């Protein structure tokens, strides 16, 4: 029957901390297919509220962890976006946290009991949500994605970084970031050889929405190095 979950094999993007975690992106059509959503629609997740609700619960949990219970001021770090990154680091938040999701009534009128879901912690409120990838969690998500959830105050989740949020390049005189046709970000290298000929090299950074700041800096540095090596084949820039 159309719209019902069907057996389907995909390659999941997984980060292994205490078990595998997978991103829940509302732009991920492979995920939508696994969850049995209507893939004839341009945006299969349109009208769903589960992912936003889970992100809201994640943010509220982190608020609890970084808020100082002795602080009676109104300018709590957890509520101030400008200071939230510093407060997150100072609180030594674990890499994974558990959020409590309430019970709900599924489309078959069965009541699905409350559940603890393990997700990756993130300092940004709009960070992409990463959920622990287990058979039980996927079975629960197939039902939960069709239920109505409270999303008041839920963030608009990012699907990828803006170019201005990437680390500064080591050679901005010859290298720059650019957005590719498939919405990924690449590093481009352009220079004129000693013979006066213009050379261009480009390498995509791939998917970066799951990366920490340190991981992203390492990726950018290694990509720059690869471009330099390619340049050396044609001559020094």
Instruction: Locate the domains of the chain by residue range.
Output: 15-144, 163-234
Q: Exposed, middle or buried, 155 (CB in 10 Å: 0-12/13-18/19+)?
A: middle
* Phi, psi for 234 (deg, rounded to 5): -90, -10
For residues 170 and 189, give the distance between their C-alpha atoms in angstroms, rounded to a whole number.
12
Model pTM score: 0.62
* Phi, psi for 213 (deg, rounded to 5): -60, -40
Q: Are 157 and 128 in contact (CB under 8 A)?
A: yes
pLDDT at 234: 54
Cα 73–123–19 angle (5° rounding)? 135
pLDDT at 103: 95
pLDDT at 117: 96
For residues 131 and 58, give the distance between their C-alpha atoms in angstroms, rounded to a whole number.
10
Average pLDDT over residues 34-56: 88
For residues 15 and 130, give the distance between their C-alpha atoms in angstroms, rounded to a whole number.
9
Q: Are 164 and 179 in contact (CB under 8 A)?
A: no
| Alpha helix positions (H), 74-212 | 81-90, 135-144
pLDDT tens digit sequence for 146-168: 999 998 888 877 665 667 667 88
pLDDT at 3: 53
């Amino acid at each position: 029957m159309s719209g019902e979950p069907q057996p389907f094999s995909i390659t999941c993007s997984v980060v292994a901390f205490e078990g595998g975690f997978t991103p829940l992106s509302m732009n991920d059509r492979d995920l939508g297919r696994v969850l049995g959503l209507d893939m004839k629609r341009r945006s299969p997740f349109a009208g769903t509220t589960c992912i936003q609700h889970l992100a809201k619960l994640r943010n509220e949990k982190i608020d609890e962890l970084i808020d100082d219970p002795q602080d009676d001021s109104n300018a709590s770090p957890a509520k101030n976006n400008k200071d939230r990154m510093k407060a997150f680091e100072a609180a030594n938040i674990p890499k994974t946290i558990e959020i409590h999701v309430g019970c709900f009534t599924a489309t078959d009128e069965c009541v699905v009991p409350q559940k603890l879901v393990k997700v990756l912690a993130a300092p940004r409120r709009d960070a992409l949500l990463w959920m622990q990838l287990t058979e039980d969690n996927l079975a629960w998500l197939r039902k939960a994605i069709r239920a109505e959830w409270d999303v008041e105050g839920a963030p608009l989740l990012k699907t990828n970084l803006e170019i201005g949020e990437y680390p500064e390049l080591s050679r901005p005189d010859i290298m720059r970031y650019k957005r590719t046709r498939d919405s990924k970000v690449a590093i481009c290298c352009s220079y004129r050889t000693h013979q006066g000929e213009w050379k261009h090299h480009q390498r995509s950074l791939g998917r970066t929405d799951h990366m920490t700041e340190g991981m992203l800096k390492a990726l950018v540095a290694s990509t720059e190095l690869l471009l330099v090596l390619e340049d050396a084949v044609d001559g020094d820039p």
